[in-house]
Chain A
Amino acid sequence: MAEETIVKDFKVMNEYGIHARPAALLVKAAGKYECDIFIEKDGNKVSCKSIMGLMTIEGYPGSIMKVSASGCDAADAMNEIGELFNSKFGED
């Protein structure tokens, strides 16, 4: 299977942005997949599997995050990550 990179933009919609709890949810979701997943914002790119990385990326409420996934299960991973962003990480 060809190594394809899927890239999507998501908006941070919950009230507090990507603090510890959303970061943990993202890391847990990403951790289930084999593929590499990164989150990028303002030129900062961190692994979606690193909790410390996600907490330093400054995901302000309303900011746009570029998520990229590459690997065999990238599409599934992207769906789940997208679901988390769209459901405001279960907050609000």
Chain B
Amino acid sequence: MAITVKTLWEEGADILSLSIIAGEQYLDRKLPETTMNRPGLALTGFFQYFANQRLQIFGLAEFTYLKSLPQEEKMKRLVELFEQQIPGIVITRNRKAPREILDLAEEYKVPVMRTPMVTMNFVNECTVILEKLTAPQERIQGTCMELMGIGVLLRGAPGIGKSETALSLVERGYSLVSDDVTEVRRTTRGRLVCWANEVTRYHMEIRGLGIIHVPSLFGVAAIRRQTELDLVIDLKPPTGDEDRTGVHPDVIELMGVKVPCITLPVRSGRDMANIVEVAALNQKLKELGHDAAKELDDKIINRLTRGRVRNG
């Protein structure tokens, strides 16, 4: 997914303390490779391999090198750099941009930004933002909760009780991430991150009540901005075909990522919040390497097969 320098500017200007010092009207330039490049080597005149599609970062090294060049040579090298159709420049450590760069930026229609941050910190922060901007993202149907550090996505047909279950969980002290509509992003680590749509964030719709605002009713501890997804729970009408042991847990694929999935039958009067709570706890236990169902099964198989030898 290609983004423009403007996308980065809008998302990151605050976090990265960016200000624009030249070529503001050219912020629409595409950023084909969503990463950064230190153009030090290019400034020495080596362009055989130059990552011209990336944001160019001018740090202390680049400035010191430019300073060492005679005026004429400096201009020549900078022209060569701009000739490469670079998408944008960021100057770190709040260095004053040389006149040449500002002029060339206007001439070649390249936006130039500046930050007080040290280059290393800027690159780290900016990488995180760029990764977030370009990560695959989807909007899915489901209510997302966070229980003791375990991210749980509740899915199910409308009216099956996703929001009611979430509400009971909130009353038990757990946190709401999103109600009914959940935004999901896949990180480069292959994890899914869930959060709520900006507009409806922290609101819930409860049948018979209408819209409620969760933090107003339950306090800020009842909400969470985002969570990593650890478990999907499908609420379904009972079929009689539910998993009875949990020895072979189901896994579903969401945006190409495998996530453990549990199907819970909903019967009237069944305390779903309680079961979801235990499911999350059990998932936490599994992630710590303790799989109760499997351990019990192994124990039984061990006993039974020893018994065969004794009997035989």
Residues of A within 8 A of B (CB): 15-21, 23-24, 27-28, 31-32, 51, 55, 58-63
Residues of chain B contacted by A17 (CB below 8 angstroms): 300-301, 304-305, 307-308
Contacts of A16 in B (CB 8 A): 301, 304-305
> Quick check: A61 and B304 within 8 Å, CB to CB?
yes
State the Cβ distance, B134 to closest chain A Cβ, in Å: 44
A28-B240, A31-B240 known; A20 vs B297 contact (CB < 8 Å): yes
Instruction: Write the nearest CB–CB distance from B308 to chain A, whole angstroms.
Output: 5
Chain B residues with a Cβ under 8 A of chain A: 240-241, 243-245, 247-248, 293, 296-297, 300-301, 303-305, 307-308, 311-312
Interface centre among B240, B244, B304, B312 (most CB of A within 10 A): B304
Complex Cα spacing A59 to B303, Å: 10
Residue of B nearest to A12 (CB): B304
**In the complex, what residues of B have CB within 8 A of residue A24's CB?**
243-245, 247
14 A-B pairs within 8 Å (CB atoms) are namely A19-B300, A19-B301, A20-B245, A20-B296, A21-B247, A21-B248, A21-B297, A28-B240, A28-B244, A55-B300, A60-B305, A60-B307, A60-B311, A63-B307
CB-defined contacts of B247 to chain A, threshold 8 Å: 20-21, 24
8 Å CB contact of A20 from B240, B293, B303, B308 = B293
Question: Which B residues are CB-close (under 8 A) to A23?
Answer: 244-245
Min Cβ gap A91→B in Å is 11
Closest Cβ of chain B to A69, distance in Å, is 18
Closest chain A residue to B298 by CB distance?
Answer: A19
CA distance A87 to B9 in the complex (A): 66
